[in-house]
């Protein structure tokens, strides 16, 4: 699905692989992310498939850049994908939960330390969504008034991130208390 994510971003405007990475990190990273190496190789495949096209821009002070643009086929493909209904819920993988599931043999101290560290990290995440991510969206809307409709959807995903982190913090507090009482 990285293919579709890249098409989605290139549908906003032409960009380099490097810029696509930054866009993802700044917007979808809490529900979709990729390494630069994967982005570059996926862009290559997308171009071979005619979904995007690229031109090399020479720069004086910076290295040459390959700027990708979405083609008509690409826009069509993006549209098809967006219209496909999702009939299942996504399946997650969480190392924290997996470890915790098997942690009966660990001592109380190690468990509580682990949980407290996670609590801190998720609290930071929550604050990040409430401030920086929110400001980022507001900033784009201010610059590009035509993006107001898009921003409604970005805000929905931001809000989900915020609620998830809130849930994590709540659950971790609850779990730390139980572990301290009953272990």
Partner DNA sequence: ATTATCATGTAAAAGGTTACATGATTTG
Partner DNA sequence: CAAATCATGTAACCTTTTACATGATAAT
Stretch that binds a second copy, among 15-23, 41-49, 62-70, 96-104 (CB under 8 A): 96-104
Residue 156: CB atoms within 10 A of its CB come to: 9
Strands (DSSP E) contained in the chain are: 52-57, 65-70
Judged by beta carbon distances under 5 to 8 A according to partner kind, the member of a second copy, DNA, none in contact with residue 156 is a second copy
Cβ count near 63 (within 10 Å) = 7
Q: Which of 66, 96, 112, 166 binds DNA (CB under 7 A)?
A: 66
Query: Which CB sits closer to a second copy, 31 or 44?
Result: 31
By the 10 Å C-beta count (0-12 exposed, 13-18 middle, 19+ buried), 37 is classed as: exposed
**Segment near a second copy (CB under 8 A); pick from 37-45, 60-68, 94-102, 132-140:** 94-102
Q: How many residues bind a second copy (CB under 8 A)?
A: 69
Choose, by CB under 8 A, the member of 83, 109, 142, 143 that binds a second copy. Answer: 83
Stretch in the footprint of DNA (CB under 7 A) among 11-19, 82-90, 127-135, 162-170: 11-19
Contact 133, 28 (CB under 8 A): no
Residue 164: which residues within 8 A CB-CB, separation 6 or more? 30
Q: Do residues 7 and 52 touch, judged by C-beta distance below 8 A?
A: yes
Partners of 135 in the β-ladder? none
Binding residues for DNA, rule: CB under 7 A, are 1-3, 16-19, 22, 33-38, 40-41, 43-44, 59, 61-67, 91, 93
């Amino acid at each position: 699905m990285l293919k579709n994510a890249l098409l989605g971003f290139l549908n906003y405007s032409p960009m380099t692989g490097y810029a696509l990475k930054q866009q993802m990190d700044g917007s979808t990273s809490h529900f979709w992310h990729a390494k630069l190496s994967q982005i570059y190789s996926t862009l290559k495949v997308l171009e071979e498939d005619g979904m995007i096209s690229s031109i090399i821009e020479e720069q004086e002070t910076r290295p040459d850049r390959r700027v990708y643009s979405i083609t008509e086929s690409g826009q069509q493909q993006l549209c098809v994908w967006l219209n496909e209904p999702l009939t299942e819920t996504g399946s997650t993988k969480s190392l924290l939960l997996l470890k915790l599931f098997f942690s009966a043999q660990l001592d109380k101290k190690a468990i509580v330390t682990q949980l407290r560290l996670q609590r801190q990290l998720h609290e930071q995440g929550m604050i990040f969504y409430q401030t920086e991510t929110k400001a980022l969206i507001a900033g784009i809307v201010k610059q590009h008034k035509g993006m107001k409709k898009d921003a409604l959807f970005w805000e929905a995903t931001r809000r989900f991130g915020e609620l998830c982190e809130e849930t994590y913090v709540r659950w971790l507090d609850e779990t730390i208390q139980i572990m301290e009482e009953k272990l």
